[in-house]
A and B are shown apart, each in its own frame.
Chain A
Amino acid sequence: MDRTRDRDEAGRQQLGSSSGTSSCGKSNLWKEEGGMDELLAVVGYKVRSSDMAEVAQKLERLDEAMENVQDSLTEHSNDAFYYNPSDISNWLETMLYNFDSHPPEESNKDSASSDYDLKAIPGKAIYDGGVSTTSNPKRLKSVESTSTVVVVDWQENGIRLVHSLMECAEAVENNNLPVAEALVKQIGFLALSQVGAMRKVATYFAEALARRIYHVFPLQHSLSDTLQTHFYESCPYLKFAHFTTNQAILEAFQGKSRVHVIDFGINQGMQWPALMQALALRTGGPPAFRLTGIGPPAADNSDHLQEVGSKLAQFAETIHVQFEYHGFVANCLTDLDVSMLDLREDESVALNSVFEFHKLLARPGAVEKVLSVVRQIRPEILTVVEQEANHNGLSFLDRFTESLHYYCTLFDSLEVSPVNPQDKAMSEVYLGKQICNVVSCEGMDRVERHETLNQWRNRFSSAGFSLIHLGSNAFKQASMLLALFAGGDGYKVEENNGCLMLGWHTRALIATSAWQLAAKSVVTL
């Protein structure tokens, strides 16, 4: 059987079976090649119809052999190699060969693991670490003298699931709709066999892919406040965002007697009580505090912004902080204009954006316009919290891969933390909506255009802003906050060149940064 491997020139590592033929890659699965079984081919396994009985027998033998060897597998895990299981017949052959403990004179050298590198999608939900894979085919030849044990990944369905997701995404990118359709159905089945985070993520991604394939787009992408409140309660991401930005704003307002905060996305106003309290307790007493809250029009036409405002006003009264509030309804931040904001001479202004800036990337020129308005406002500080991921790449497949990894990690963290089930379920719906938007929408509808911290850094720097380093106070508060969460071991705060990042295990998920207008250039006479 032909097993030429096509390493994608762009260096993309993909989960993929080796294509039996040529450079067109994976879309050739559909064609019958040498009597391959079609159904298995769709899922990624190449078996000749005539070989089916033999393959079944080999599987049984392998099963027996593995039961006996199970205990010694962990000892040898450092020397393990992955063989490509999509070519089932030969794979079984080599597996049985190794289990029979013959001297490995003639192991199938062609079965390099390089194309089947699970590290393409790191993250515990999918790839259970601990097995090293070799990416250099040459190494296999020198291994003759050492005994190798092949470790089979017990989560075979999980691999197949991810494999199918990637195949489907690629089919969608190549506009190969029949294949995509078949794969989406497979994914649905495979997802049911999983448990926990992987199952939920796969289901959401499958739904999003299906929407894209069948052109059934969600009516409107609105992350309702209720959903966000549940997300706030179930995991530390939003709290981290609020605590770190509040600390930065507090430090920026040191010594000022009249302050004005403009919040680009006020939601329920959960961020501001803590800031008001910190201002109330600072030496010298609280400043006069003014808040401008911006938000989208409410679905039920209620004056939601005003309700939030009166609640905040009530709070401010209890702690004796002079408080003033204005709410602005805006469909998009570009509708904002300096004249609407009633800026006053003796006030220091802080601008705050939590997960709002990335939505502007859907419209060309929007970010630049908003940043120019920000420059006109001349704030003391602009605090920005964004997701740390690139979900705005040009290629659909890249976006898909990135977001799969990102949301797997997020769902993982939700899974491990002990939260009340309703909060957890709502948070998952909240994230599911984001997934749907990233995967199935395009153009102006695709508002979840997350970009990494470095990308934002470039944008802000070239727009005339310079970074304010978040101090150690913010870091300590954030660390302490995370220590309170019962799943706390997994969350990590990191400092990244003056910005703070919150991540789950090794993966950074959100980033907070603070900006000010870059020093004006000296005017020479």
Chain B
Amino acid sequence: MVQEQHRGEQEKRSRFFINDNIDILREILKRLDGPSLGVAACVCRLWCSLTRNDDSLWEHLCFRHVSTASVRAVVVALGGYKRLYMVCVRPVLSRLGESERVRRRAWTRHEVQLSLSLFCIDSYERLGNGRIASDASTSSLMFLCNTINV
């Protein structure tokens, strides 16, 4: 009897399922780079809702070494880290640096400032236009979008 119970417990312990431990999952997802986070969003419904709704996952992506409480307050007020990443950080990084190094490099103060400024203008523009979808770029940031070669 005792042996069976023991084996049962062992089996239970070995069946570790990440989705049961969302805090660990979060810690892992936080450390991913942009494209990987996008891939993660396609894994299952839980992961999808986490990436979509948990803005703190995107914070580390944006200002990995520079984020402070005050920056966080401003970014959250202006639309959140996910939007910041989508409309500002990702295009800025891809234009300014080589993509392989991009994931690992630290932001300089100037890059942070520039991205935040652009993000502000974007947010200000959206104040007047309620109908812009949360992931779409406003016209002030159109210059960052990739052009399509016709």
- Knowing A270-B124, A274-B121, A477-B114, say if A484 contacts B143 (CB, 8 Å): yes
Q: Chain B residues with Cβ under 8 A from A269's Cβ?
A: 124
CB distance from B13 to the nearest CB of A (A): 47
Contact of A325 with B by CB under 8 A = no
- Knowing A243-B117, A273-B120, A483-B96, say if A476 contacts B78 (CB, 8 Å): no
- Knowing A273-B123, A278-B117, A319-B78, say if A486 contacts B71 (CB, 8 Å): no
Contact between chains at A419 and B116 (CB < 8 Å)? no
In residues 277-328 of chain A, which contact B (Cβ within 8 Å)?
277-278, 280-281, 285, 311-312, 314-315, 318-320
Which residue of A is nearest B92, CB measured? A484
CB distance from B95 to the nearest CB of A (A): 5
CB distance from B103 to the nearest CB of A (A): 19
Contact of B10 with A by CB under 8 A = no
Contact between chains at A277 and B120 (CB < 8 Å)? yes
Contact between chains at B77 and A318 (CB < 8 Å)? yes
Contact of A380 with B by CB under 8 A = no
In residues 104-123 of chain B, which contact A (Cβ within 8 Å)?
110-111, 113-114, 116-118, 120-121, 123
Q: Chain A residues with Cβ under 8 A from B28's Cβ?
A: none
CB distance from A242 to the nearest CB of B (A): 9
Contact of B24 with A by CB under 8 A = no
Alpha-carbon distance between A319 and B70 when the two chains are bound, in angstroms? 10
In residues 90-146 of chain B, which contact A (Cβ within 8 Å)?
91-92, 95-96, 110-111, 113-114, 116-118, 120-121, 123-124, 127-128, 139-140, 142-144
Which residue of A is nearest B116, CB measured? A277
Contact of A480 with B by CB under 8 A = yes
With beta carbons under 8 angstroms apart, the residue of B113, B128, B143 that contacts A486 is B143
Contact of B46 with A by CB under 8 A = no
Contact of B147 with A by CB under 8 A = yes
Contact between chains at B140 and A484 (CB < 8 Å)? no
- Bits for A77-112, please: 1 = Cβ < 8 Å to B, else 0: 000000000000000000000000000000000000
Q: Chain A residues with Cβ under 8 A from B110's Cβ?
A: 473, 476-477, 480
Contact between chains at B111 and A480 (CB < 8 Å)? yes
Contact between chains at B74 and A311 (CB < 8 Å)? no
Which residue of B is nearest A236, CB measured? B143
- Bits for B80-96, please: 1 = Cβ < 8 Å to A, else 0: 00000000000110011
Alpha-carbon distance between A477 and B144 when the two chains are bound, in angstroms? 16
Alpha-carbon distance between A285 and B120 when the two chains are bound, in angstroms? 17
Q: Chain A residues with Cβ under 8 A from B139's Cβ?
A: 233, 420, 423
Contact between chains at A419 and B143 (CB < 8 Å)? yes
In residues 338-358 of chain A, which contact B (Cβ within 8 Å)?
none
Alpha-carbon distance between A491 and B121 when the two chains are bound, in angstroms? 22
Contact between chains at B96 and A232 (CB < 8 Å)? no
Contact of B2 with A by CB under 8 A = no
- Knowing A320-B77, A423-B139, A477-B113, say if A484 contacts B144 (CB, 8 Å): yes
- Bits for A196-212, please: 1 = Cβ < 8 Å to B, else 0: 00000000000000000
- Knowing A233-B142, A473-B110, A484-B144, say if A318 contacts B123 (CB, 8 Å): yes
Contact between chains at B74 and A280 (CB < 8 Å)? yes
Q: Chain A residues with Cβ under 8 A from B127's Cβ?
A: 311, 314-315
Alpha-carbon distance between A393 and B96 when the two chains are bound, in angstroms? 41
Contact between chains at A420 and B121 (CB < 8 Å)? no
Contact between chains at B74 and A319 (CB < 8 Å)? yes
CB distance from A515 to the nearest CB of B (A): 23
Contact of A73 with B by CB under 8 A = no
Contact of B39 with A by CB under 8 A = no
**A residues whose Cβ falls under 8 Å from a Cβ of B:** 232-234, 236, 243, 246, 269-270, 273-274, 276-278, 280-281, 285, 311-312, 314-315, 318-320, 417-420, 423, 473, 476-477, 480-481, 483-486, 488
19 interchain pairs, CB-CB under 8 A? A232-B140, A234-B143, A270-B140, A273-B120, A274-B120, A277-B74, A280-B70, A280-B74, A281-B70, A281-B116, A315-B127, A418-B147, A419-B142, A420-B142, A423-B142, A473-B110, A481-B114, A484-B95, A486-B143
Other A-B contacts than A274-B116, A281-B71, 12 sampled, CB-CB below 8 A, are: A243-B117, A273-B120, A274-B118, A280-B74, A318-B77, A320-B77, A419-B143, A473-B110, A476-B110, A480-B96, A483-B95, A484-B92
A-B CB proximity, top 7 nearest: A274-B117, A418-B147, A273-B124, A273-B120, A318-B77, A277-B120, A274-B120
